[in-house]
Amino acid sequence: MIRAVADKLTPSDIGGDPPAVELRDVVKKYRTVEAVDSLSFVVKRGSVTALLGGNGAGKTTTIAMLLGLVTPTAGTVRVLGADMARERGRVAHRINFESPYMDMPMRLTVRQNLTVYARLYGVRDPRQRIGAVSETLQIAELLERPTGKLSAGQKTRVGLAKAFLNAPEVLLLDEPTASLDPDTADWVRARLQDYAQARGATILLASHNMAEVERIADRVLMLQAGRLIEDASPRALIRKFGRGTLEDVFLDIVRGNAPTDTRHQNG
């Protein structure tokens, strides 16, 4: 039986354990396409890191390898010290993933869906945990509704509830506020920040919302054609490129307008 994680990490846990995420010389090829090319980076515990890049930059493939769903062609992907190609089961109960593009079974109620996931995650008291998470994310009134009848904002909150069930130490997010109105998106970002601070958790998110990244991320990893080309805080990148916002920096990079001497050389 997979055990549930404790509710909160101690400072010694954060300081003494292996990095939350570590990629070393990672390559992923799909036949003739090299989706990830010699990618290396380390993410420390308790940080919020944004994985950015245009379409086809390698973000989704990188997240899939971090989840152990895709095996790298070469190199090593570690999460909480475990090689995800060979030891995924050792840390699966300590990580989670959320994306608005992945639907839960529509005919099941929210409670039924969360109960299934709580059991899959090895949560010791699913009913109590679902109740606590539902209160935090304000979905208690949705628990008996069919999941397919929810609005986009409600589905996002339920998805976060699913992701929080096992109190993950590492939370991977793919466009967490996509298709949400500004008020709901702001609410979701606040809940993510609250969770990261209260849990001492590490968050790695892929996003196309540059204002969102500026607000919540400590660090930006910018990918292009599967390679890491920039690695700095949002403010540092804005200063480096002489722009007013991170969105301006992003557009310079994806359009090929960035000066070549500003580019970070991966590896």
| pLDDT, the chain, mean | 89
Under the banding of pLDDT at 50, 70 and 90, the label for residue 257 is confident
* 210 within domain boundaries: yes
Domain extent at residue 255: 11-262
CA distance 60 to 37: 14
Match 């994306």 to its residue by tokens: 99
- Is residue 4 in some structural domain? no
Per the domain annotation, does 198 fall within a domain?
A: yes
Please report whether residue 144 resides in a domain.
yes
What are the tens digits of pLDDT across the range 166-207?
Answer: 999 999 999 988 888 899 889 989 999 999 999 999 999 999
CA distance 88 to 67: 8
Q: Report yes or no on 3 lying in a domain.
A: no
Which one, of 166, 174, 201, 162, lies nearest residue 92 by Cα? 166
Task: Give the percent of the chain with pLDDT over 90.
Answer: 78
State the DSSP H helix or E strand holding residue 225, giving kind and residue range, or none if neither.
Answer: none
Residue 6 has pLDDT above 80, yes or no: no
Q: Residue 51's pLDDT band (boundaries 50, 70, 90)?
A: very high
pLDDT-derived band at 266 (thresholds 50, 70, 90) equals very low
Q: What is the CATH number of the domain that holds 77?
A: 3.40.50.300
Specify if 225 maps to a domain: yes
**114 assigned to some structural domain:** yes
Task: Report the pLDDT value the prediction gives residue 8, as an integer from 0 to 100.
Answer: 37
Please work out, in degrees rounded to the nearest 5, the angle formed at the alpha carbon of residue 36 by the alpha carbons of 217 and 67. Answer: 60
pLDDT in tens, 108-154: 999 999 999 999 999 999 999 999 999 999 999 999 999 999 998 89
Number of domains in the chain: 1
Q: Is residue 52 part of a domain?
A: yes
pLDDT tens readout for residues 55-86: 889 999 999 999 999 999 999 999 999 999 99
Q: What does the chain come to in residues?
A: 267
Global pTM reads 0.86
